[in-house]
Amino acid sequence: MAKKVRIGVIGNGGIANGAHLPGYSLIPDLCEIVALCDIKPEALKSTSEKYPQAKHLFEDYHKMLEMDELDAVSVCTPNRVHFQPTVDALNAGKHVLCEKPIAMNAKEAAIMAATARKNGKILQIGYNSRFAPSNQTLKKFVSAGEIGDIYYARAQSLRVRGIPGWGVFIDKEQQGGGPLIDIGVHILDLTLWLMGHPEPVSASGVTYQKFGTRPDVVGFMGQWDYKKFTVEDLQSAMIRFANGATVVLESSFVANIRQEVHNTTLLGTEGGAEAYPLSITQERHGSVFTFEPKVPNSNINTHHAEMKGFVQCILDGKEPLVTGEHGVMVARIVDAIYKSAEVGHEVPVEKV
């Protein structure tokens, strides 16, 4: 492989232009953007004007994958189009950074992870929260045993009025769901990682659609077409794990709450913790106290750190921080929550 990782980007929409391409551009000593691909000519044109170093432009990603001078790709398409480009890229011998969620369901996710292993290529999933320095610090506390056995966690990603007014976020056929599969998966992945990825065994979930189909609800992230809203606007679930631990997961695009919440709370036998802002609560010398570690570089862009981590793993031949298998576990839980909400009772988290 070349001294620099040669990158192509499939899908030139918001996440590509807002995260992946800027992230790669910041590390020119490690990688170079050589190709762009989008089925929309106007998106391809506008992106190529911002990144003229990408000399190869494609409307068909299959053609892009034929390039020998390509080492890795970012898959930045809608959820429905994560699976096939990722599998095709891995089979073409390219490393892949696939945006979250890994796929529309766990069955697709498992095939993607297996394809990466079969071809000896990296498959990293875009759960960038793990790259936050404060979360890295919290993980060190957990790994050192200072929280003890984590038996309960509350993971929340709740917006007050946050239905995206652009893209396909309100389209179940394109996205697979609403806030659960869009923002809930971020805080779920972070929580699972902090807990050491215990094996999930069952989930009891509910979903609500109380606001998205109404014309009288204000949008803080642009106004969506309420007639096309086919996803949930709030989700709640309890997940049970084989080690006896439980996680309560909540996510919303719309909720009548005082302020937005994006946080995970961990309760352990030796201490407790919250991720945002980072705090640790413990009992010592007959007293209970909470301290807030001050972490250097806490304001870094975690997307940019994610791109750098991906490229560095390729150069060093190391396992990524967020593996395909981690993406599969999140997908298994999401599948179970949606199924539970549909049937009205607790269901197993199926293995794939």
Claim to verify: residue 153 and residue 276 sit in the same structural domain: yes
Claim to verify: residue 312 and residue 202 sit in the same structural domain: no
Claim to verify: residue 117 and residue 265 sit in the same structural domain: no
Q: What average pLDDT does the chain have?
A: 97
Half-sphere exposure of 278 (CA within 13 A, CB side): 19
Residues β-bridged to residue 273: 266, 280
Claim to verify: residue 42 and residue 75 sit in the same structural domain: yes
Q: Total structural domains in the chain?
A: 2
- pTM (2 d.p.): 0.97
Claim to verify: residue 109 and residue 142 sit in the same structural domain: no
The Cα 93–Cα 123 span in angstroms is 11
| Mean pLDDT, range 7-14, rounded to an integer | 97
First to last CA, the chain: 34
Beta pairing, strands 95-98 & 123-125: parallel
SS3 89: helix
The Cα 67–Cα 53 span in angstroms is 16
The type of residue at 102 is I
CATH of the domain at 9: 3.40.50.720
327: in domain: no
Domain boundary among 269, 298, 327: 298
345: in domain: no
Helix (H), strand (E) at residue 330? helix 324-343
Helix (H), strand (E) at residue 164? none
225: in domain: yes
Cα–Cα distance list, 50 to 59, 77, 122, 165 (Å): 17, 19, 28, 24
Residue 32 structure tokens: 């170079």
Claim to verify: residue 123 and residue 232 sit in the same structural domain: no
28: in domain: yes
Cα–Cα distance list, 78 to 33, 65, 81 (Å): 21, 19, 6
Claim to verify: residue 288 and residue 310 sit in the same structural domain: no
pLDDT digits (tens, 9 = 90+) for 237-270: 999 999 999 999 999 999 999 999 999 999 999 9
- Contact criterion met (CB below 8 Å) for 20 and 128: no
Claim to verify: residue 61 and residue 201 sit in the same structural domain: no
Claim to verify: residue 13 and residue 157 sit in the same structural domain: no
pLDDT at 221 over 90: yes
pLDDT at 46 over 80: yes
pLDDT at 159 over 60: yes
User: What contacts 121, CB < 8 A, 6 or more positions away?
Assistant: 90, 93, 94, 95, 96
Please tell me the predicted confidence (pLDDT) of residue 2. Answer: 58
Please tell me the predicted confidence (pLDDT) of residue 37. Answer: 98
Claim to verify: residue 151 and residue 236 sit in the same structural domain: yes
The type of residue at 259 is Q
Cα 284 to chain center, whole Å? 36
Domain residue limits at 98 = 5-129+303-319
337: in domain: no
pLDDT at 327 over 80: yes
pLDDT at 1 over 90: no
* Burial grade of 84 (CB within 10 A; 0-12, 13-18, 19 or more): middle
Task: Give the count of beta carbons closer than 10 Å to the beta carbon of residue 194.
Answer: 23
| Mean pLDDT, range 60-78, rounded to an integer | 97
Nearest alpha carbon to residue 266 among 141, 144, 126, 125: 141
**Residue whose tokens read 């802002």:** 277
**Residue whose tokens read 């404060």:** 134
73: in domain: yes
169: in domain: yes
CATH of the domain at 266: 3.30.360.10
Rg (CA), the chain: 20
Claim to verify: residue 51 and residue 176 sit in the same structural domain: no
pLDDT digits (tens, 9 = 90+) for 134-151: 999 999 999 999 999 999
- Contact criterion met (CB below 8 Å) for 271 and 146: yes
189: in domain: yes
Claim to verify: residue 118 and residue 17 sit in the same structural domain: yes
